[in-house]
Structure formats: C-alpha cells, structure tokens
Structure 1
Amino acid sequence: MRLHDVKPQKGSKKRKKRVARGISAGQGASAGLGMRGQKSRSGSGTRPGFEGGQQPLYRRLPKLKGFPIVNQKIYTTINVEKLASLPANTEVTLASLKAAGILTAVKGPLKILGNGELSTPLKVQAAAFTGTARSKIEAAGGSCEVL
C-alpha cells in the first residue's frame, strides 16, 4: 500500500446538503423551513426569552433581593439591664433565667447584649457576649464565661 492508494473510509465523506437550490435538489422552495412565518424568513429567530409579545417570564417574576444566610446561628438574646434585677453573685445561665421568669421563649444559645446599666456583680455563663456587655459585667465586679 502506497500513499496514493489511500482512500477515505466508505461513507465517511458526505456532501453537505445544499438547500434552496431548486426543487430538483430536494431542499428547494422553502428550504426545509416550512411555510411562512417568522422562523421561515431570512435573519430569522427571536432573542432568547422572547414570547411573541407577551410579557416574558423573566419580566413577570420579581427581582430577588439578597441571599439567605446559610447556617445562620439564632441566639436567645437578653440585655444587661434585665440582669440588674438579679441578686448579687448569682450564677446566670439560660436555665436560671428561664426559671426566674426573665426569659420566656428559648430560641437557641444565650447571648448577652450590652444595653442598659448593671451595678450588681454576677457570674454570667453564655454562648456569646457583645463587647459592651462583657465590659459592663466585669466593671460591676462580675465574671463572663463563654460556654
């Protein structure tokens, strides 16, 4: 076998279909585009999302604002001013606050916020403290323990 003997595989060379080149060519007249209508015209087609003049789906739906927070941690929050009513040197936990009636609904771990004043020293155990809450508790002579 020589290079001049090499031929392409039978069936591998297929001529492209020549459309709109007369009726006898097989794809004449409408060139396979059907009869009339926008899709049969030259330069045909519409933009993606076009619905024939009807308000398209992407305009019917409202714009979404922002994204949801994934794995958001929800705390049971309480301000320092609520702790002021407790007696001095009390150990403050989520359970003790619920037992005292200061908290009614428990949504998650306890977080102490810094709104209000505190004068009694307390031993506070919580999952989180804000900076102002920690400073107010420690200024009153209490202690903050992160669980």
Structure 2
Amino acid sequence: MSDFIAFFARVAGETKEACQRKLHPYGIYAGQNFLLDLLWNTSEDLTIGEIASRLHASGESITRTVRRMSQQGLVEKYPHPTDARQVIVRLTPKGKELQQLVPHAMSEVEKKLLMNISDVERALFERVLQQMLHNLEQSTAQED
C-alpha cells in the first residue's frame, strides 16, 4: 500500500474519532451529524433515497442510519403520501434540539484539525481534495 493512501486513511480515521468524541455527549455517532444537518437545513420532506442522493451515500447505509436514529428518538419515519414503497424522514423535537449543540461541536473539531493551517493552504487543500474526488469519480465512471 502506498504511504500516501495509508497516511490519508489515518487522517480520515483520526478525524472521524475526533468527531465521535465530540458527538458522544449528545448521544449521536459520527456520520449521523451529516443527516441531521441535511434535515435541519431543508424545509421539504425527504425520502431515504433523496437523503442518500444528497449525502452521496448508499440507500442501504442511509436506511441503517435512519433506523438507528429512529431508535435514538432523533428522527421519525412517515408513510409517503403518494408512494407506499417509500417513507418520509422527519426530525423529532429531540433531533431539532441538537441543532443548538452539534454544529458548535463540529466547528471545534474543524478548528483543531485546521490549527496552524493558513486560509491559503486550506483553500489549496480543498481544491486538491475536489480534484482527487473528481479523479475517482471519473475512474469509476470509466469502469462501468
């Protein structure tokens, strides 16, 4: 394995662990914050498929996440009004309350992660990450 890939995976893993430590006091897991953020910032009803599309995740992954979050009392599932095969996912009051806490916790992780990195370096890094993502998406499209 390339040193770059191993190092990149380590940074990703450490970042996820840092997020988990900040989210644990609120009873949520790293990754659930992305679904919460999506629901906090949309006024429309979303199905699991729409959530998966917007978060660039598989439907199966979102189904598991929604099931767990429903058990935690953060979201509720409702029948879709016109398509019995689908469900609508909505925040519960408990899920809405976390909007006052979770963004601040994630901001703290981001500040720690980017400490001693200039705005110029951050912008360049984001550009490099976007290019890497584009490269992988192009490679995947060519394989299909």
TM-score by length of 1: 0.23
Larger radius of gyration: 1
TM-score by length of 2: 0.24
Higher helix share: 2
